[in-house]
Chains A and B, each alone.
Chain A
Amino acid sequence: MSEALTKSQARNIFYGGSLFFLAVFVALTVHSHHYIVNKSTDSAGLTEAVARGKGIWEKHSCINCHTILGEGAYFAPEVGNVWVRYGGRDDPEGAREALKVWMQSQPSGVEGRRQMPQFNLTDQELNDLIDFLEWTSRIDTQGWPPNEAG
């Protein structure tokens, strides 16, 4: 590397620049934090049930098969919009029932088809989980996913 730059100059640029970019990043994070709480998610609607539902999602490690808002494993369908895919916007009761029946009838046992385990969730747990998925479907995701298929 050229003689124009000495090692200690390079070091100082590294320290100074990194601190600068870290500060900008932290500032934007603070802004984004407020934006999430106040704008893009329904903080008021984040009920105890939704919080419990998130806990159930985590307890059974659903994310290691599914994706949620595009993040997770890529083995099973996206669930960030599963509420919408099941028609929950027009018929919430029907969608809730359909999702419950779906989860209760796993594993399908169909030969050659990916299997979802049976988690033996209680009715309350199923409701909490579905509340969480419904809440998630209302996050303002800048228009992602491109279509209902997720």
Chain B
Amino acid sequence: MKYESQKVAYYYILAALILFAAQVTFGLVAGYIYVDPNFLSETLPFNRVRMVHTSSLIVWLLLGFFGAAYYLIPDEAERDIHSPLLAYVQLAILLIGGAGAVIGYLFGIHEGREFLEQPLWVKIGIVVAALIFLFNVTMTFLKGRKTAISNVLLLGLWGVALFFLFALYNPHNLGLDKLYWWYVVHIWVEGVWELVMAAILAYLMLKLTGVDREVIEKWLYVIVATALFSGLLGTGHHYYWIGTPAYWQWVGSVFSVLEVVPFFLMVIFVFAMVWKGGRDHPNKAALLWALGCATLAFFGAGVWGFMHTLSVINYYTHGTQVTAAHGHLAFFGAYVSLNLAIFTYAMPYLLGREPYNQVLNMVSFWLMSGGMAFMTFTLTFAGVVQTHLQRVNGEYFMDVQEQLHLFYLMRLGSGVVVVLGALVFIYAVLVPRSRELIAAQQPAE
């Protein structure tokens, strides 16, 4: 840690990890209800459990992005954060809003659009927090050294705030509601968040591999160009069946297939940089997460996204467990792993020590990634069977679901492994121990 004010990131990471634990715990409860549907059905119905699961995911990912920015922007700008005080005020607003939302959900206080259930006061809080953040980091950026990495990161975060404004618009016409709902949901994860992802991966590659900045930043611009060129019109893959014009079946299919390109480029990018780079950075766990992030994002978003994105296929799979399979691996691969990579990288610096608990951390990588991969397979099989029985044969939803029990049982098992991995990760990052589980090989004399 070169600048005292980077310490702010530590508290963002802490807050993010608490919500991460809540997210996976409620995910496990939801997975259990699939297997034992009478569980909690009167006290805490499935819809509330799911709201906590998805909302805490989104809020902790955002906290992680903010934390990453507060760590990375000073380093890139070569100066302290404009106002650490404002950064703490922003965190307080987000924590009050986040905690208020989650507790409210448990008691049935919420708005009612998927992922945007936060009550209005929380939404406004999020906008205010975002404005404080943008002011703070933009000032830091403007007064310091301007690099492509911080430029792209900031553009991404400006986009996050700008497109979130559509969350405040909820027309009575369901078709219009859906048209603009995707402006938040799709343009976040397949647009501006990809800018954040590419920028953070570029920063990690710069630090971990030691490849020349010029090379890395050129890659960065090419990756984010392909992301927005494909991702904006790629929104069309959600405009097939919601009352929008038929031409979206062409536009959406063509451009969303191209959305695979940036994810493919990111895999090539990270592996090429490690191949090229000469640096032997001691933080192996951070490197594992960074490589894992690009790889799993390529499979979750790229391959599993491609699987159901052509309109002729989506006509049958739309809104089945195939969608659930994709949503899980895409979020985990791209944005959960990204955050865990930058946390793993930054924490030793924030605590002023050498990388620690690397073996445990890497164990948690394999537990979580293995668990998520297995979960994705079970949901994919469930979804394919569902698609056939329900969409092709016309059997009723509930009758079909009964036949999927075995898949949901296996999904629950994989969920247990993921929760275990998450707990191991949290322990590994928060509780430094003096010795590694397995000692590293000393370099030969």
Contact = CB atoms under 8 A, between A and B. Distances in A.
B32 interface: no
A114 B37 contact: yes
Contacts of A147: 391, 394
Contacts of A116: 45
A67 B394 CA distance: 17
Interface residues of A, number: 74
B243 A141 contact: yes
B218 A17 contact: no
Contacts of B108: 60-61
Given A63-B112, A64-B50, A146-B392, A25 B221 contact: no
Contacts of A25: 232-233, 235
Given A14-B221, A57-B112, A70 B241 contact: yes
B209 interface: no
- Chain B: number of interface residues, binned into ranges: 35 or more
A145 B387 CA distance: 11
Interface stretch (A29-37, A86-94, A95-103): A29-37
B354 to A, nearest CB: 34
Contact of A64 (B48, B179, B218): B48
Interface string B26-41: 0000000010011001
B324 interface: yes
A24 B174 CA distance: 24
Q: Would you list the 10 A-B pairs with minimal beta carbon distance, nearest first? A: A58-B112, A70-B319, A64-B47, A144-B241, A10-B221, A115-B41, A14-B225, A77-B397, A36-B175, A40-B243
28 contacts: A1-B215, A7-B148, A17-B228, A17-B229, A24-B232, A25-B235, A32-B179, A35-B245, A37-B176, A41-B174, A58-B113, A62-B47, A65-B47, A65-B50, A69-B178, A70-B241, A71-B178, A73-B47, A74-B321, A74-B324, A78-B319, A112-B37, A117-B45, A141-B243, A143-B315, A144-B318, A145-B241, A149-B390
